[in-house]
């Protein structure tokens, strides 16, 4: 008995105006400002906007550990009038049990948007290509754009503006947070300096991508070897864990390499007098950041964590509205 080869899956009809947030530079400067304004408005009046009324479902798929992202998206989707549908990434096994395009076609016919925390940026792009609904990057190995919307909202709340501020990112400059700060900071017209040990600096391609944005917005980007040079005069000092999710086997080696890039009170003393500190959490006191800095008066970490909800609500509301999927 012969078995016929399966027919090719039908192509998904592109939805006019469909928008996604896969990387930070999916938002141009004007759009980034719109999303931040919307986040501020939603923070001031959390229950006024109901673009997901129905309730319409949003799929939340997590292949990596999560706390803030799951809680803030879940609460935020409910506040927008929608239903947060949690999908266990281990059980769904997207890309292993079923191909990403097939899963995208199925989910896109069931839900109004898809939020996915996963590993490969290419998989996220494939989901967006085939879903027919907005897809939101809830973290990949390459980018963490939702965190950056929350971070920029937090900084703007403190300083009233973003353009012209200087930012020092100290840590793994090749990680998702380093790349997202380069792109989102440049989009906002900020001056972003990344300090990382050898082997963990931003790629030339990422610096060029961010630099092209900065050339249009009046910002700048740079990789700086010395953390003191990066932090000197900075308005915002940012760090992140030295061991990103999925890199746990490298913990011992990384802690040896990153020792000189710990955010201490001494290092922070080189920043501007008004400087604030951000960390996307989870934080490891005594490793990438000292407790007296994380818990100190310059830390905005807890405001930053709260702002994940307001920022992600704005991202979802903006995307479904731009895509013509918002409740009328």
d(CA 208, CA 112): 35
The DSSP letter of residue 299 is B
Handedness of CA 217, 185, 38, 118 (dihedral sign): positive
Catalytic residue among 19, 20, 68, 117: 117
- φ/ψ of 299, rounded to 5, equals -75, 130
Catalytic residue among 25, 123, 235, 240: 240
Mark residue 39 as left, alpha or beta (left: phi above 0; alpha: psi -120 to 50; beta: remaining): alpha
pTM: 0.94
Q: What is the pLDDT of residue 246?
A: 72
Q: What is the pLDDT of residue 2?
A: 40
Average pLDDT over the chain reads: 94
Residues of the chain with pLDDT under 70: 1-13
Question: pLDDT tens digit string along 268-288?
Answer: 999 999 999 999 999 999 999
pLDDT exceeding 70 applies to what percent of the chain?
Answer: 96
d(CA 284, CA 159): 27
Sequence-distant (≥ 6) Cβ neighbours of residue 57 within 8 angstroms: 82, 83, 84, 85, 110, 111, 112
Q: What is the pLDDT of residue 12?
A: 56
Query: Catalytic: 147?
Result: yes
Q: What is the pLDDT of residue 4?
A: 44
Query: Catalytic: 130?
Result: no
Question: pLDDT tens digit string along 227-269?
Answer: 999 999 999 999 999 887 777 777 777 888 898 999 999 999 9
């Amino acid at each position: 008995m012969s078995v016929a080869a399966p027919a090719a899956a039908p192509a998904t009809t592109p939805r006019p105006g469909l928008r996604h947030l896969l990387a930070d530079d999916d938002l141009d400067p004007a759009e980034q400002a719109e999303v931040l304004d919307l986040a501020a408005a939603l923070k001031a009046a959390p229950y006024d906007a109901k673009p997901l009324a129905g309730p319409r479902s949003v799929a939340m798929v997590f292949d990596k550990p999560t706390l803030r992202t799951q809680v803030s998206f879940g609460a935020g989707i409910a506040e927008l009038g929608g239903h947060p549908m949690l999908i266990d990434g281990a059980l769904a096994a997207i890309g292993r049990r079923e191909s990403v395009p097939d899963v995208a076609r199925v989910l896109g016919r069931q839900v109004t948007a898809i939020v996915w925390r996963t590993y490969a940026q290419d998989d996220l792009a494939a989901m967006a290509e085939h879903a027919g609904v907005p897809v939101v990057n809830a973290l990949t190995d390459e980018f963490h754009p939702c965190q950056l919307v929350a971070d920029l909202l937090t900084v703007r709340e403190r300083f009233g503006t973003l353009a012209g501020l200087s930012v020092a990112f100290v840590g793994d400059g090749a990680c998702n947070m380093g790349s997202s700060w380069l792109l989102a900071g440049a989009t906002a017209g900020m001056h972003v300096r990344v300090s990382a040990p050898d082997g963990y600096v931003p790629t030339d391609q990422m610096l060029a991508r961010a630099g092209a944005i900065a050339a249009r917005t009046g910002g700048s980007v740079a990789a700086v070897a010395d953390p003191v040079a990066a932090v000197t005069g900075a308005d915002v000092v940012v760090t992140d864990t030295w061991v990103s999710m999925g890199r746990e086997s490298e913990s011992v080696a990384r802690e040896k390499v990153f020792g000189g890039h710990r955010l201490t009170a001494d290092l922070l003393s080189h920043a501007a007098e008004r400087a604030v500190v951000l960390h996307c959490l989870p934080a490891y006191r005594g490793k990438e950041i000292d407790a007296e800095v994380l818990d100190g008066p310059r830390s905005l970490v807890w405001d930053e964590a709260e702002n994940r909800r307001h920022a992600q609500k704005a991202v979802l509301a903006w995307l479904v509205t731009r895509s013509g999927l918002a409740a009328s």
